[in-house]
Amino acid sequence: MASILVDEQCLIPDGIASLADFRRWALSPAFPERGRIDWIGSRIEVDMSPEDIFMHGTLKTEIVRVLGTLAKDRAMHLFTGETRVSSVVGDVSAEPDVVAVFDAAFDAGHVRLVPSAAGKPDRFIELEGGPDLIVEIVSDSSVAKDTRRLPAAYHAAGVREFWLVDARGADVLFTIHRHEAAGFVATAPVDGFARSDVFNCGFAIRRSRNPHGRLIYDLLVRSGH
């Protein structure tokens, strides 16, 4: 039987005792349309907290903007929003903030596109396996999940690279982790840029304020880093 970290605003149906049960529910019309509900190591974790606009939303938009352009030049696909990633070996089913997968990973079967129930061409509802890159942005309600439980599950799933971003403090904390046998290992920044093997370049995140005083972010890229 799965244990549940539950939010009073979300009702978990009876009978969800395995990853397979959870995935069927997550891909059904009965699954809640709002909030983030993940399966991590035989536990259902429910977070119905609203997304923080400037500590999460605009930051994610900037990451997607920059990585989306880079992905097109690398035979890679970038996913965000409510893209569900599931892995049997990782015992995880989650909706990361950002996901990237090379065409080569699809072709080799490292990641599988799960078709919709209708079976129509080019209609898919889930990624199964270990993507090349997953990005998680820490929220007040997701600290332990994003920093401990999800990284362990993503590593077991075979994710090649894991980015963790935390913009809640005075400084933006940004770490790129590469997959090694014992777990994810943080890359040491050089001149403030952390190297990504997936994108074959360095990245840094800078935060400032626009002329109206509101927070903005820049994901900087250094080629050949």
SS3 129: strand
Q: What is the pLDDT of residue 48?
A: 87
d(CA 24, CA 108) in angstroms, rounded, equals 25
Query: For residue 5, is pLDDT > 70?
Result: no
> What mean pLDDT is predicted for residues 70-80?
96
Fold annotation for 51-223: tt1808, chain A (3.90.1570)
CA–CA dist 89, 154 (Å, integer): 10
What's the mean pLDDT in 145-149? 96
Strands of the 133-137 sheet, one edge to the other: 76-80, 98-102, 133-137, 161-166, 173-180, 183-186
Global pTM? 0.93
pLDDT tens track for 41-59 = 999 999 988 889 999 999 9
What's the mean pLDDT when you consider all of the chain? 93
Query: Tell me: the pLDDT tens digits for 89-101?
Result: 999 999 999 999 9
Q: What is the pLDDT of residue 1?
A: 45
Q: Would you give the DSSP letter of residue 48?
A: -
Model pLDDT for residues 192-225, shown as the tens digit of each residue: 999 999 999 999 999 999 999 999 999 999 997 6
Give the C-alpha separation, 195 to 175, whole Å.
Answer: 10
Confidence of residue 2 (pLDDT cuts 50, 70, 90): low
Helices (H), 126-215: 143-144, 150-157
Inform me whether the pLDDT recorded for 142 exceeds 50.
Answer: yes
Q: What is the mean pLDDT of residues 101-126?
A: 93
pLDDT at residue 82, as a whole number: 86
